[in-house]
Structure 1
């Protein structure tokens, strides 16, 4: 693994570039970008998959999103979806500059929110030749409808009022306010997936000092307006692999994405697995087997 840097416009992104066993810089390799979940960093599940896929013969790149982790960008902890999508474009840009990467064989894998961003990026940037997702989430839909897709758009109105008031306050010099990605440990009122997410991000299981479980509240308005799967029917012409746990509360995102995709598509539902089970642990093996076969076939 090598520490690398590349730019999304003026923001310097920090990445980890993984090389396959027996790497020969005089050969051309297919490459895969792994896109981390909301609030995550490259050292967590995105890095896990990047390392495993490198062991399967791919060049892989995991990186911290703009304004997050070790990457630059101020104000830090800003999380706006189209910034995340542009990060993927920039990762493709970077890979095309490496003489040992075959620029015609670049794929992307996104996990959770990263899955939505990967799909949106692939829909627009057709240098991406294959796209896969694990526990994909469309953060726009999740914001509008809630984690399990049962909420009403009317539930958003008080939130939008609060966002408006906060922006006005900050314009007049008030301190910025942060929102958490996952609930506190032990919050049994949260959806089960998010309770397990707290265990992943806030304990020794995967806790990292660069993943501080906070985002700028004044950026949440961009989530409301975003749709990761908009125009997938028309624009996503590349093959796609969609992987999810059969017990995931986020399963409705995966079902919507798979139904919309009109080209070559594969679906893997891992029985007994919940949303976070595809981040680490025993179910990652099943996901990896399918991912390796998919990317070997299309890249």
Structure 2
């Protein structure tokens, strides 16, 4: 069953990456191997929704839209510009790990399924980009919690309010936005729309949205201006990187090697009877580094800045709460 699901996901990625048009769920059902044998409509849509969520959890930039105003249903595609990775420098040990992972994608089962998917796409009359077959690479990125609510607001054409915390701000501020679309750029999701509070178009990174966005007003009240290119707006705002932020951390000796490669040891410090190194590094996007730093657990302690330290602490509390919830569920099952 796991192999069948993996083959179906590969087929789906190939399908959406190989076409320049939006494909509806019904058309995907008739094209992609793995969906055609669904016993009924309910089973297909349940599987398809689960697969879409899994792709987004893996960091695949799945776009939703329509090819024209006459289309009755939304379609899906994957833009090559968002999917392909840029040049990456790897250490020898990292390159070896990547080489091992790539063996999965070179397996006869998946390459055979990919070839069959492309043939079926052509037979169905879909405009296929042959280069897509060589660009499938695993990427891991968790989906943003605010994504479903914001996408629903875009599709319904409703005004949406949410709390938004910009870099180096201690507290989030409420925003009221007329949403035009949700797009991915360089591995991150953004909401683009008209900010009523600032009376101007704005882009909002979904990872900075706090809590659950709330739609308000009647459906259809918001329409996207016809001359607006959402991706160009996002790329234009993000072209100039913000000033880097100095970060100081305490690290257990011999641990967090990936972090150490990016930092410099500037001092030593004893905490709770443990002698550790004080490291310094520069971060262009400190707000997005909280989960990365928190992932090192007790081996790394953030010393400054205070805003990032608070974010790391919140990530630790969230992980502890999730672990406690899983433990409670396991206890109920045993009971």
TM over 0.5: no
The TM-score range, normalised by the shorter chain, is under 0.3
| Higher RCO, 1 vs 2 (CA within 8 Å, ≥6 residues apart) | 1
Question: TM-score, length-normalised on structure 2?
Answer: 0.23
Q: TM-score, normalised by structure 1?
A: 0.25
The structure having more radius of gyration, on CA atoms, is 2
